[in-house]
Amino acid sequence: MKFVFAHNNFNVLDLAKSLKFYKDALGLSETRRINANDGSFTLVFLGDGETPHKLELTCLKGRKGKYDLGDNESHLAFITDDFKAAHELHRKMNCVCYVNEAMGIYFIEDPDGYWIEILPKRQNQ
């Protein structure tokens, strides 16, 4: 028996704002959209154009309050081929929320409060 990654899901309040963030911050683009027949939710799958892994954004109709993210220890991680330029972009977007200089990584925060780890491309990756 074998399992492979399919996608991760984040619930979002403002789908348009989240789509813009993920396009601008990480270059992700929409690959598929599912609208519930009763209009109760929309699912949008985002891809990086290189790997089959997707980020599924779920927008529930009528949801007003922020989601409880707990301690926000769960996160996505992205590897970038230009760490310095990525950090500058995210700094300008004002979405850098934590820097760990000792580990050579940082985190950005999306409009709903989810943290995303940014890693430099290293030789063993």
Residue 106 CB neighbours (<10 A): 21
Domain of residue 82, residue span:
7-64+72-120
- Give strand pairing partners of 54: 7, 47
Please name the residue that has the structure tokens 């081929």.
81
In a domain, 125, yes or no: no
CB 86 within 8 A of CB 96: no
In a domain, 41, yes or no: yes
Q: What is the CATH number of the domain that holds 112?
A: 3.10.180.10
Cα–Cα distance for residue pair 5/53, rounded to 1 Å:
7
pLDDT-derived band at 74 (thresholds 50, 70, 90) equals confident
Specify the number of domains making up the chain: 1
In a domain, 76, yes or no: yes
Cα–Cα distance for residue pair 45/59, rounded to 1 Å:
11
Residues 57-63, mean pLDDT to the nearest whole number: 94
In a domain, 2, yes or no: no
In a domain, 1, yes or no: no
Give the rounded percent of residues in the chain with a pLDDT score beyond 70.
Answer: 97
pLDDT-derived band at 125 (thresholds 50, 70, 90) equals low
Q: Say what the pTM is.
A: 0.89
In a domain, 24, yes or no: yes
At residue 70, the pLDDT reads: 81
Is residue 27 left, alpha or beta, with left meaning phi > 0 and alpha meaning psi from -120 to 50? Answer: left
Q: Is 58 helix (H, G, I), strand (E, B) or coil?
A: strand
In a domain, 100, yes or no: yes
Cα–Cα distance for residue pair 30/45, rounded to 1 Å:
6
Please name the residue that has the structure tokens 């760990």.
100
